[in-house]
Amino acid sequence: MTEEATLFVNQKIQVLKKEGRDWFISSIQDIRGGVISIAIPYLGERPLILRAGDEIKVRFTMENCSYIFDTKVIGEATDNIKLYRLAYPEAIDRVQQRMHVRLPVMLDVEYTVPGRDPKKTSLKAVTVDLSGGGAKLAVRERINENTRLLLKFTLPLRSRPEPLELEALVVRSMKVEPERELYHLGVKFINTTRHQEDLIVRFVFEKMAQQKRLR
């Protein structure tokens, strides 16, 4: 476990049950004696039911990185609220593989198509959803698949806004309103740095945690 990947009380985490598909939002409530106590994880209004012996994955983000570890549920505890008790992990790994959650969110985007007429250098789009590996964009013109785009947008992170400039490849293009020139583009980010990807994952995580608090 690297020194920077430290667990702490009130830390926001995501929990995935073994053989499950959905990540649930939770937070660390206590750490002592080799045991981590967490609040019941939720996905929207749905709680994640865990029992002693269940194997789970936990992931979290820090300033510029995402981490994940495996652990087991030891049992339950009560400290004003019901808690799950987890074994402290033997190792915490920085996320290497792309394990991206797609978040429905609207962000203003400027995009350009390299080589296009200079009068159309920068156009406006809006994200429909966003993940660390790509996005769905709403645009007002037809753009063919396999077109490369340059995207500029700002992530409204809690600490400070983070401007990003990313290359993207259009992998899907579909007209969504027959009476209007409105298209949805599925784009895949290409040539992204680890730092850029971590910032997007961090934003998605923060937004999901905020939505959980508002429910």
CATH code of 39's domain: 2.30.110.10
Question: Does 51 map to a domain?
Answer: yes
Question: Does 141 map to a domain?
Answer: yes
Question: Does 2 map to a domain?
Answer: no
In this prediction, residue 2 carries a pLDDT of 42
Question: Are 170 and 196 in a shared domain?
Answer: yes
Q: Which two tokens stand for residue 72?
A: 């087991």
Q: Pick from 43, 59, 94: which residue ends a domain?
A: 94
Q: What is the pTM of this model?
A: 0.57
Question: Does 65 map to a domain?
Answer: yes
The answer on pLDDT for 8 being more than 50 is: yes
What distance in Å separates the CA atoms of residue 122 and residue 120, rounded to the nearest whole number?
Answer: 6
Sorted by sequence, the CB contacts under 8 Å of residue 187 that are 6+ apart come out as 134, 135, 136, 137, 149, 151, 168, 169, 170, 171
In this prediction, residue 16 carries a pLDDT of 93
The 3-state secondary structure of 133-189 reads CEEEEEECCCCCCCCEEEEEEEEECCCCEEEEEEEEEEEEEEECCCCCCCEEEEEEE
- For the stretch 128-164, pLDDT in tens is 999 888 999 999 999 999 999 999 999 999 889 999 9
Question: Are 114 and 196 in a shared domain?
Answer: yes
What distance in Å separates the CA atoms of residue 81 and residue 72, rounded to the nearest whole number?
Answer: 20
Query: In terms of residue numbers, what domain contains 180?
Result: 103-214
Question: Are 82 and 128 in a shared domain?
Answer: no
Among 40-54, 111-125, 182-196, where is mean pLDDT lowest? Answer: 111-125
Average pLDDT over residues 103-111: 94
Query: How many domains are there within the chain?
Result: 2
